[in-house]
C-alpha cells in the first residue's frame, strides 16, 4: 500500500557559506537567492500544519531522527543537569508541542537517518498503527570535535566546494537543517479532501557491512536496496534519481550501483552542493526535493560538476537543472556503519 504525502517542510543552513533556504509546498527548486539564511522552526511548522488536520492525538505518530543529536548542548547536562543532548530529545519536544500520545521513535542510521525515518513512518501507516505520521529528521550544527574527526578522515572538502561525481571532488561541506513529511493513507487523504503532493510507494532499508565507512566497491548492496524498493513500489519507471553524492570516494560505488540497475538512462544529480551535507537530515530534505522535482517537472542540478570522473557512466545533470517530465523519483542515502535507504516517490 502506498502512503500519501499531504504536507511537507524543510530548511537548511550552510553556516560556512552564509546561505540557506526553506522548502515547502509553495517553494521553487530554482533556488535563485541564497542571500539570506532561513532556518525556521520545525515545531511551529508542525503545529501550523496540524491546525488544519482533524487528528486524534493518540493516533498521531512521530518519527524524528538525528545522526548525533545536539552535541553542543552536552555542557548543559554536565553543568546544569539539563538533559538536552540525547539524540531523541527533539522527538520529545515535538510530542510535547503537539500533545501527541501516539507512538514516537528517534532512529539513528548516521547519514541515512532521514530515509530510515520516512520508511519507518510509512510502515506505521501501512500496518494501521497510526492515522497520521510526522516523519523526518533534524541535524544540529556540529561541534568542533566532530568537524575535526571528519577532517582527520579526509571527508571534509579542503577547497570548501562540494563537487559530487567530479574528478576533482575532495569531500563534503557540512550543514544543518531539518525535513519532515506528513504521511497518511491514500484512502484517508482522499476522504478528507487533502491535497496530495505525492506518494511514498516503495522503501528499502539495507546494510552494507563491508567496512565502517566504505561501501563494497561493486555497489552490490546499494543495488539490492534499489531493486527491493522498486519491487515494493510495483516497478514504476523512474524518471529522476536524487543520489547521495557526498563528493567522496563512495560516489564511485554509488554510481556503479545505479548503473547496475538502470544503465545510464535515468538522469541523476546530487543536491548536496545546494544544501550542504545535512548528515542525518539528508534523506528527509532530499525527499522534499524529490516532491518538488515531480511537481515542477524539473531535475535539479549537481552544482560544481564540471569535469565528470571518467570512471562514472551515468546521465548526470550538471550545473543547470533540466526541464523534463518527472512522475517517479528515487532517493538514495547511506551512512557510516553501512546503513542504506532507498525511497521511491510517485506523483500519482
169-180 pLDDT per residue, tens: 999 999 999 999
- Residue indicated by cell numbers 530534505: 285
Instruction: State residue 200's pLDDT score.
Output: 99
Which of 45, 64, 111, 290 is labelled catalytic? 111
The overall longest dimension of the chain from CA atoms, in Å, is 56
Read off the pLDDT band of 41 (50, 70, 90): confident
What CATH architecture is 3-346? Answer: 3-Layer(aba) Sandwich (3.40)
Burial of residue 214, with CB atoms counted within 10 A of its CB: 0-12 exposed, 13-18 middle, 19 or more buried: middle
Which residue(s) pair with 64 in the sheet? 136
pLDDT at 271 over 80: yes
Instruction: State residue 57's pLDDT score.
Output: 96
In sequence order, what are the residues at sequence separation of 6 or more whose Cβ sits closer than 8 angstroms to the Cβ of residue 308? 165, 166, 167, 316, 318
pLDDT at 35 over 60: no
Higher pLDDT: 208 or 79? It is: 208
Instruction: State residue 144's pLDDT score.
Output: 87
Task: Establish how many alpha carbons lie within 13 A of residue 147's alpha carbon, considering only the half-sphere containing its beta carbon.
Answer: 14
Distance CA 132, CA 54 (A): 10
Instruction: State residue 72's pLDDT score.
Output: 74
Task: Name the CA dihedral angle for 305, 335, 135, 47, rounded to a multiple of 10 degrees.
Answer: -70
Instruction: State residue 247's pLDDT score.
Output: 98
Instruction: State residue 1's pLDDT score.
Output: 82
Inter-residue contact 147 to 74 (CB < 8 Å): no
pLDDT at 303 over 60: yes
Beta strands in the chain (DSSP E): 3-14, 19-23, 60-65, 104-105, 132-139, 176-185, 198-207, 240-242, 267-269, 298-299, 315-316, 322-323, 328-335, 339-346
Residues 233-245 have a mean pLDDT of: 99
H or E element in which residue 92 lies: helix 89-98
Distance CA 163, CA 243 (A): 13
Which of 64, 116, 197, 277 is labelled catalytic? 277
Burial of residue 226, with CB atoms counted within 10 A of its CB: 0-12 exposed, 13-18 middle, 19 or more buried: buried
DSSP for residue 30 = T
- Mean pLDDT computed over every residue of the chain: 91
pLDDT at 40 over 50: no
Which of 116, 197, 244, 339 is labelled catalytic? 244
pLDDT at 166 over 50: yes
Residues 35-61 have a mean pLDDT of: 78
pLDDT at 47 over 60: yes
Burial of residue 90, with CB atoms counted within 10 A of its CB: 0-12 exposed, 13-18 middle, 19 or more buried: buried
User: Is 111 one of the catalytic residues?
Assistant: yes
Please list, residue by residue across 330-345, b when 16 or more beta carbons sit within 10 angstroms of its beta carbon and e when fewer do: bbbbbbbbbbbbbbbb
pLDDT at 31 over 50: no
pLDDT tens, position by position, 277-295: 999 999 999 999 999 999 9
User: Is 244 one of the catalytic residues?
Assistant: yes
Instruction: State residue 36's pLDDT score.
Output: 33
Amino acid at each position: 500500500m502506498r502512503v500519501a504525502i499531504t504536507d511537507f517542510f524543510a530548511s537548511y543552513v550552510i553556516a560556512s557559506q552564509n546561505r540557506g533556504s526553506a522548502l515547502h509546498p509553495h517553494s521553487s527548486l530554482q533556488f535563485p537567492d541564497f542571500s539570506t539564511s532561513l532556518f525556521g522552526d520545525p515545531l511551529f511548522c508542525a503545529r501550523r500544519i496540524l491546525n488544519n488536520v482533524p487528528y486524534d492525538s493518540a493516533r498521531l505518530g512521530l518519527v524524528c531522527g538525528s545522526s548525533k543529536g545536539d552535541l553542543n548542548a552536552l555542557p548543559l547536562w554536565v553543568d546544569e543537569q539539563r538533559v538536552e543532548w540525547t539524540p531523541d530529545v527533539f522527538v520529545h519536544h515535538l510530542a510535547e508541542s503537539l500533545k501527541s500520545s501516539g507512538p514516537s521513535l528517534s532512529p539513528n542510521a548516521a547519514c541515512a537517518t532521514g530515509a530510515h525515518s520516512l520508511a519507518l513512518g510509512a510502515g506505521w501507516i501501512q500496518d494501521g498503527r497510526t492515522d497520521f505520521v510526522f516523519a523526518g529528521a533534524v541535524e544540529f550544527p556540529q561541534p568542533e570535535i566532530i568537524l575535526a574527526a571528519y577532517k582527520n578522515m579526509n571527508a571534509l572538502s579542503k577547497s570548501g566546494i562540494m563537487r559530487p561525481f567530479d574528478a576533482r571532488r575532495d569531500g563534503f561541506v557540512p550543514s544543518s537543517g531539518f525535513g519532515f513529511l506528513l504521511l497518511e493513507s491514500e484512502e484517508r487523504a482522499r476522504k478528507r479532501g487533502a491535497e496530495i503532493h505525492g506518494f511514498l510507494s516503495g522503501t528499502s532499508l539495507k546494510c552494507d557491512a563491508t567496512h565502517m565507512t566504505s561501501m563494497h566497491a561493486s555497489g552490490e548492496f546499494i543495488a539490492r536496496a534499489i531493486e527491493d524498493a522498486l519491487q515494493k513500489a510495483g516497478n514504476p519507471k523512474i524518471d529522476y534519481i536524487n543520489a547521495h553524492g557526498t563528493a567522496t570516494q563512495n560516489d564511485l560505488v554509488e554510481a556503479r550501483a545505479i548503473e547496475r540497475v538502470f544503465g545510464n538512462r535515468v538522469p541523476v544529480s546530487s543536491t548536496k552542493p545546494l544544501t550542504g551535507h545535512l548528515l542525518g537530515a539528508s534523506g528527509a530534505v532530499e525527499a522534499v526535493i524529490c516532491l518538488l522535482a515531480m511537481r515542477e517537472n524539473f531535475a535539479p542540478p549537481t552544482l560544481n560538476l564540471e569535469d565528470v570522473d571518467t570512471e562514472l557512466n551515468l546521465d548526470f545533470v550538471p550545473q543547470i537543472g533540466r526541464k523534463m517530465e518527472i512522475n517517479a523519483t528515487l532517493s538514495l542515502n547511506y551512512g557510516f556503519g553501512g546503513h542504506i535507504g532507498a525511497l521511491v516517490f510517485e506523483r500519482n
